[in-house]
């Protein structure tokens, strides 16, 4: 595509987006058109704060209106919940309270096994609350708890296109099991939300109850299949909030870090001081809906370690973001995300490019600032981060500045148009990279989605073939899914702030699925999905073709099973090294990586079968068992095993193993990978949490241990004790060990 053609496309999409934003600025935001959110609750005012004890026996609760009428989505859509559920809504000037009574005819069978903060609680009976505070039918705050009062919260963006489970704020929950079921009280300070302080402003509201032993889900309002709880356009309404105070204008959250790190090998050892001080976040609320965040000398000592993985293909692995600063409000920056064969193949902004090398080694972050929220009907996200120079192994990483601008406008009932700009500049050089473009996402007739994106990169010495484009046409209801999508990435497109699986590609994917629900006591739903991924270069020469056929069976018990045959074609233009080994080349310890297995250029095709069984997580012993034999894999044979049991021994102790085995046989080269991620969670209470992770990867000759103690001494503030140890096990890296012990304390000051 010529650059002028690209500019015209961008211009026309920008004009269409501007007209849509101008002509239809509030459609659906005020009247909720296109929704079936017919229920409304009127919040009752309480003069005094409610004591959270898991019991609704205070006079304020007794005087509040009782809300009933929970309706099943599964197993019997539209039928009343098999167990009665009622809730009440109270508020004071500073806090919103939700009280729920979950009646149960068999209280001894209520499942409550998890105490870990931010666990998804999929093993347990739960109550989940969503609050659409701006009533835009797209974005919301999600709060979930179980009969133990364990807390899970998340940010919902664009009706669940992004659910940020790493968002954490200050709120409280207290629950208890009673002779008639279980109760919970939830207290959410208004200062923990972004909201309008306008008197009488309506919110979106919905509640979900899961009865885990029955695999039953019921909802106060949004019970239609084809929609999830995150589909805010289907939620009910909350009225009556008057004279409330968002309160918080400024939060300063410094941290103190103490500890050491030590590296040793056969030539000696180094001991380094790992103590530091900085500002985790300084948060200033400019308006009730617009917040500025600043971080200085940012530290991520408490961040959970990445799982060990082995790359079986010629494309890089995608690792998710886990660092708190980049995860809060991350949904605003979600654009240009595409997936192929179940893996992410493009993400135009991936925050892991900031402060981490491609090998996942840390680079110091000097400071960062972020502005997020809503302004004059637009959703706004601006971020700027400065990193220091750092020598990582034998490579000098230059200091760099990273910037992101994201602007979106809600249009029609459930649609958006937007603009994005990414920028990276290296200190001490003229190198830079910028990516800019526009995108749109339109939803019609409840289930039809039409989306498109165009973007262009700019860097020194490149003037053409540097654009990216993607699009989607999709219908998805509970019974039927039909999808056509594409992603075109030109050879010279460069994105230093994103993840690009490969450039010079044109991928077209077509998928179709029918999902009948037989009248059976054994089977809840069957899904039959054929799919084709067709990938060429920019000259339309075939590079990859994957033909899928995936029948899935979802059982009433909550188990799932599928057998999925695939046919795959790959064209290698150049040799591809699948395995390397490290060899020592000098007595002083100099090493280099040599190829152990290299696949020569050529055309390869093979058939493989993916067989997987997932057990209902409500069971004391659950997990996944899978096998994928691939005879003919790049001219050899490969069999992959995935064994991932999870054992819940009590509400304090759980054990999980993710064990992957890859058995290779390529002509004269044969080897077996063993990759183990073994995790033990022991929680003394909801506030004292420990996680111990053991890792083993014989492909990289690595064994590691990570121990993390987290004491939540008050909502939003933590004490961490983190110990890491890593060992190299082969002869080349013999006696190489890395150890670190760190103690971290955060303490917030709210004004």
Query: pLDDT tens-digit profile of 706-723?
Result: 999 999 988 888 999 999
Q: Is 502 exposed, middle or buried (0-12, 13-18, 19+ CB in 10 A)?
A: middle
677: tokens are 């991620």
Low-confidence spans in the chain with pLDDT less than 50: 1-35
Q: What share of the chain is helix, strand, coil (3-state, %, to 5)?
A: 5, 55, 40
pLDDT of residue 269: 67
Report which secondary-structure segment, H or E, holds 7: helix 3-23
Peptide bond just before 75 cis, omega within 30 deg: yes
Any idea which residue has 């044969």 for tokens? 670
Report which secondary-structure segment, H or E, holds 9: helix 3-23
pLDDT of residue 496: 92
- 593 to each of 480, 579, 711, how far by Cα in Å? 50, 10, 42
How far apart CA 135 and CA 43 sit, in angstroms, is 16
Q: What is the CATH number of domain 32-239?
A: 2.60.40.1190
Q: Compute the C-alpha angle 99/100/106, nearest 5°.
A: 150
pLDDT of residue 3: 36
621: tokens are 């012993």
pLDDT of residue 160: 80
Q: Which of 374, 425, 359, 451 is nearest to 161 (CA)?
A: 451
Q: Could you tell me where in the chain the CATH 2.60.40.1190 domains are found?
A: 32-239
Q: How distant is the alpha carbon of residue 491 from its chain centre?
A: 29
**Could you give the count of Cα atoms lying within 13 Å of 118 in the half-sphere of its Cβ?**
18
- 602 to each of 256, 316, 491, 571, how far by Cα in Å? 56, 20, 21, 6
pLDDT of residue 534: 95
pLDDT of residue 176: 93
Q: Is the dihedral of CA 77, 154, 237, 54 positive or negative?
A: positive
What is the phi/psi pair of residue 301, to 5°? -60, -35
375: tokens are 């302004």
pLDDT of residue 592: 66
pLDDT of residue 7: 38
Beta strand extents in 288-431 (DSSP E only)? 290-298, 337-340, 343-347, 365-375, 378-387, 390-392, 395-397, 400-411, 415-426
């Amino acid at each position: 595509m010529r650059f002028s053609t690209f500019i015209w496309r961008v211009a026309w999409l920008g004009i269409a987006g501007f007209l849509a934003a101008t002509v239809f600025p509030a459609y659906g935001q005020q009247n909720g058109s296109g929704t079936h959110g017919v229920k409304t609750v009127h919040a009752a005012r309480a003069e005094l704060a409610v004591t959270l004890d898991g019991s609704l026996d205070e006079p304020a609760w007794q005087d509040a209106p009782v809300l009933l009428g929970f309706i099943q989505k599964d197993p019997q859509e539209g039928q009343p919940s098999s167990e009665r559920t009622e809730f009440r809504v109270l508020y004071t000037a500073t806090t919103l309270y939700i009280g729920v009574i979950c009646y149960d005819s068999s209280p001894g069978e209520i499942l409550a096994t998890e105490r870990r903060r931010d666990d998804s609680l999929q093993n347990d009976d739960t109550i989940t609350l969503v609050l659409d505070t701006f009533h835009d039918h797209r974005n919301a705050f999600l709060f979930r708890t179980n009969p133990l009062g364990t807390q899970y919260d998340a940010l919902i963006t664009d009706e669940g296109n992004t659910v940020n489970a790493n968002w954490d704020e200050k709120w409280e929950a207290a629950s208890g099991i009673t002779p008639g079921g279980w109760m919970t009280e939830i207290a959410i300070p208004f200062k923990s939300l972004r909201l309008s302080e306008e008197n009488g402003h309506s919110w979106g509201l919905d509640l979900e109850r899961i009865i885990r032993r029955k695999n039953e889900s019921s909802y106060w309002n949004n019970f239609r299949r084809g929609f999830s709880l995150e589909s805010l356009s289907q939620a009910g309404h909350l009225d009556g909030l008057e004279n409330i105070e968002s309160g918080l204008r400024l939060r300063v959250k410094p941290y103190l870090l103490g500890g050491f790190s030590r590296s040793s090998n056969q030539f000696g050892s180094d001991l380094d001081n790992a103590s530091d001080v900085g500002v985790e976040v300084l948060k200033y609320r400019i308006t009730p809906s617009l917040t500025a965040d600043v971080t200085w000398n940012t530290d991520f000592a408490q961040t959970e370690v990445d799982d060990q993985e082995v790359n079986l293909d010629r494309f890089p692995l995608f690792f998710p973001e886990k660092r708190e600063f980049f995860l809060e409000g991350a949904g605003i920056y979600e654009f240009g995300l595409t997936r192929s064969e179940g893996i992410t193949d493009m993400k135009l902004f991936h925050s892991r490019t900031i402060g981490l090398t491609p090998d996942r080694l840390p680079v110091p972050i000097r400071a960062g600032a972020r502005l997020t929220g809503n302004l004059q009907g637009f959703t706004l996200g601006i971020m700027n981060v400065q990193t220091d120079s750092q020598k990582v192994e034998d490579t000098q990483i230059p200091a760099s500045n990273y910037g992101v601008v994201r602007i979106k406008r809600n249009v029609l009932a459930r649609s958006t148009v937007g603009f994005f700009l990414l920028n990276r500049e290296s200190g001490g050089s003229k190198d830079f990279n910028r990516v800019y473009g526009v995108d749109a996402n339109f939803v019609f007739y409840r289930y039809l989605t039409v989306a498109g994106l165009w973007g262009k990169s700019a860097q020194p010495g490149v003037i053409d073939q540097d654009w990216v484009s993607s699009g989607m046409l999709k219908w998805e209801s509970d019974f039927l899914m039909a999808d056509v999508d594409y992603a075109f990435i030109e050879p010279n497109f460069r994105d230093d702030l994103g993840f690009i699986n490969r450039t010079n590609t044109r991928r077209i994917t077509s998928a179709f699925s029918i999902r009948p629900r037989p009248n059976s006591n054994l089977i809840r739903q069957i899904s039959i999905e054929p799919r084709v991924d067709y990938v060429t270069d920019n000259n339309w020469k075939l590079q990859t073709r994957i033909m899928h056929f995936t029948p899935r069976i979802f059982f009433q018990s909550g188990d799932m099973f599928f057998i999925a045959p695939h046919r795959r074609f790959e064209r290698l233009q150049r040799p591809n090294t699948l395995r390397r080994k490290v060899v020592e080349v000098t007595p002083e310890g100099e090493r280099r990586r040599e190829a152990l297995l290299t696949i020569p250029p050529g055309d390869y095709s093979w058939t493989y079968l993916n067989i997987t069984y997932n057990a209902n997580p409500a069971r004391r012993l659950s997990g996944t068992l899978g096998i994928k034999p691939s005879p003919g894999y790049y001219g050899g044979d490969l069999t992959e095993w995935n064994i991932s049991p999870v054992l819940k021994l009590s509400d304090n102790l759980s054990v999980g193993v993710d064990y992957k085995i890859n058995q290779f046989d390529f002509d004269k080269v044969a080897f077996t990978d063993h990759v183990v991620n073994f995790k033990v969670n022991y929680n003394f209470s909801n506030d004292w949490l420990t996680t111990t992770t053991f890792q083993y990867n014989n492909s990289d000759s690595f064994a590691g241990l990570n121990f993390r103690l987290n004491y939540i001494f008050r909502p939003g503030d933590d004490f961490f004790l983190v110990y890491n140890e890593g060992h190299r096990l082969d002869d080349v890296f013999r006696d190489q060990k890395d150890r670190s012990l760190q103690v971290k304390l955060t303490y917030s000051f709210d004004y």
